[in-house]
Amino acid sequence: MKIAVIGTGYVGLVSGVCFSDFGHTVTCVDKDATKIDTLLRGEVPIYEPGLEALMVRNVEGGRLSFTTDLASAIDGAEAVFIAVGTPTRRGDGHADLTYVMAAAEEIARLAQNYVVIVTKSTVPVGTNRRVAEVVRAANPSLDFDVASNPEFLREGAAIDDFMKPDRVVVGVQSERAADVMAEIYRPLYLRDFPIVTTDLESAEMIKYAANAFLATKITFINEIAMLCERTGADIKQVSQGMGLDGRIGNKFLHAGPGYGGSCFPKDTRALARIGQEHAVPMQITETVIKVNEEIKRRMIDKIFALCADRLAGKTVAVLGVTFKPNTDDMRDAPSLTIVPALIGAGAKVRVTDPQGRHEGEGLLPGVTWVEDAYEACENADLVVTLTEWNEFRALDLKRLAGSMATPHMADLRNIYAAQDAEKAGFAAYDSIGRTAWQKEEAVQ
């Protein structure tokens, strides 16, 4: 099939590349000429393991191309995917649909034959019907259908998630559109991956409900972690005991400094707004949003406590600033709350992250970027593990402690055991949901 994908951001690029690997002929379109030039050179503008090699293979196979010319991209296309940004709208928390509607109108003006217009972007319930209205208004004679096809890609594991999905959700209004979507996803259907076909509104709601539930699960375990610290329980043992219950499962039960990224913050706020608009307040989701922000701020309190509440003039080493490992994405990362607070308190902050510097240099002014954890910790007063990159999971703790001015650690991802830190020579250690300790001589 011939497919066009509008938008070469995270969702659009991954989807386009993977569709081409299914054997379809795919053209990815973007108005950003610089981004298209980068892609035409065989370079990927985002960090996603395995994506560049897959992209190059399909370009060389003649199945994948990139352009700024929408007209040529949709000429003869049987499906056009809208994968543009839907950022949180300022003031009300709703998803901004400006780019989605603009793309729909452009498709309508340029399309000449029957086409399925597929919304891949995460959009509020009712958006696809609005897309249909925009298309009809722009080109009343166009033969078309709309479909909702939300993505469920985890950054850092997007290729596997696309090729081996838990499920593919497709919302349609007609059998004709359902047939087109079934043909697009035929390679997955043949391998017995679940294809869930619904109405438009249900498909839209599935995406928001799934992300809000996962955000709730993360926030719940983080709140339990706070209680563990007060009661002497160990959150790792508690999470393990909970996760073995098949009704709960062990995923998303890892306590940390709060969720971030491109999906959970945006989608929880949008779902809360949808509830308000329909007079059905999403009280659990609203509480999750509030508690998640409190958790990020609580991490700052932990760091201050490890420095006797005096950060002015202290050197703090921060290991990792992206919202999770295996991505360069810093959207709503806990580091964007924590690091500015440290700088504001007068600390000298050194940062190391395997992929975060490109975005981080603009988002975290005032920090010093270094190559690795050992350089970051040289003569530092405190080390903070903020992202659980593999590079930070097996550090020589004795070497770190020996190089620091005051060997204190805030392990905000529970990478290490408290006894290992003490054995390595750390004088103070705190983590999430476990008992903190500090030697008397460490109090300064």
Which positions are annotated as active-site residues?
263
Measured from the Cβ of residue 275, the count of other Cβ atoms closer than 10 Å reads 16
Integer Rg of the chain from CA: 24
How far is the CA of 48 from the CAs of 29, 52, 120, 215, 221, in angstroms? 19, 8, 19, 22, 28
Cα–Cα distance measured from residue 331 to residue 86, given in angstroms and rounded to the nearest whole number: 13
The two three-digit tokens of residue 155, written as one number: 């950054």
Give the type of residue at 93.
G
DSSP 95: B
Q: Which residue has the tokens 């010319």?
A: 69
Cα–Cα distance measured from residue 267 to residue 211, given in angstroms and rounded to the nearest whole number: 7
Q: Which helix (H) or strand (E) holds 239?
A: helix 235-243
Cα–Cα distance measured from residue 182 to residue 116, given in angstroms and rounded to the nearest whole number: 12
H runs (alpha helix) in 139-282: 158-163, 175-184, 186-189, 200-231, 235-243, 264-277
User: In DSSP terms, which residues pair with 95 in a beta bridge?
Assistant: 88
Cα–Cα distance measured from residue 150 to residue 170, given in angstroms and rounded to the nearest whole number: 8
Cα–Cα distance measured from residue 94 to residue 124, given in angstroms and rounded to the nearest whole number: 8
Is residue 204 within 8 A of residue 171, CB to CB? The reply is: yes
Give the type of residue at 221.
I
